[in-house]
Amino acid sequence: MPIARLPETGTCGRCKQPLPAIAEPIEADAALFDEVMRDARVPVLVDFWAAWCGPCRMAAPEVATVARDLAGQALVLKVNTEQQPGLAQRFQIRGIPNFMVIKNGRVAFQQAGLVRAAEMKRWLQAPATHSHA
């Protein structure tokens, strides 16, 4: 499915059964990340993490909860900073876990540190702000 359609409920081309909106975090490499930045029609939560990071492991179920609870309303990406150092560098990720919210192709919010699902949901559901430059 194209990135722009992931939050939608679809229909299987073969059996015609409904396909629910994606309800789990998506592991992202640089190409997928850039595609989501360009094409996502819903807010996106990005979790920058690493396997060796204890707080990242503690955050994982919270991130999964957000993906499940906001299926169809938001997308959730996980970026492993060990496997994708270029992405971590691009967004100046110095501490993990680090969470970023993308709205309308732009970074709307970024915060490091362990956060609960309810707080992440508030970030995603907050109105997009526009800078007047």
Torsional class of 72: left (φ above 0), alpha (ψ -120 to 50), beta (otherwise):
left
Does the residue 71 lie in any domain? yes
Structure tokens belonging to residue 48: 């920058």
The mean predicted confidence, pLDDT, of the chain is 87
Q: Which of 53, 60, 64, 114 is labelled catalytic?
A: 53
Residue percentage of the chain with pLDDT more than 70: 81
> What CATH number has the domain bearing residue 98?
3.40.30.10
Is the pLDDT confidence value at 131 over 80?
Answer: no
Known catalytic membership, residue 12: no
Amino acid at residue number 93:
I
**What is the residue range of 42's domain?**
3-12+22-125
pLDDT category at 129 given cuts 50, 70, 90 is low
Residue scoring higher pLDDT (133 or 119): 119
Does the residue 68 lie in any domain? yes
pLDDT in tens, 31-57: 999 999 898 889 999 999 999 999 999
Q: Which residues pair with 99 in a beta bridge?
A: 47, 111
Q: Which of 36, 40, 44, 56 is labelled catalytic?
A: 56
Is the pLDDT confidence value at 67 over 70?
Answer: yes
Does the residue 90 lie in any domain? yes
Is the pLDDT confidence value at 130 over 50?
Answer: no
Does the residue 131 lie in any domain? no
Does the residue 130 lie in any domain? no
Does the residue 87 lie in any domain? yes
Mean pLDDT, residues 103-114 taken together = 94
The tally of domains found in the chain comes to 1
Known catalytic membership, residue 53: yes
Mean pLDDT, residues 10-23 taken together = 66
Does the residue 85 lie in any domain? yes
* Confidence at residue 127, expressed as pLDDT on a 0 to 100 scale: 79
Helices (H), 40-125: 54-69, 85-90, 117-125
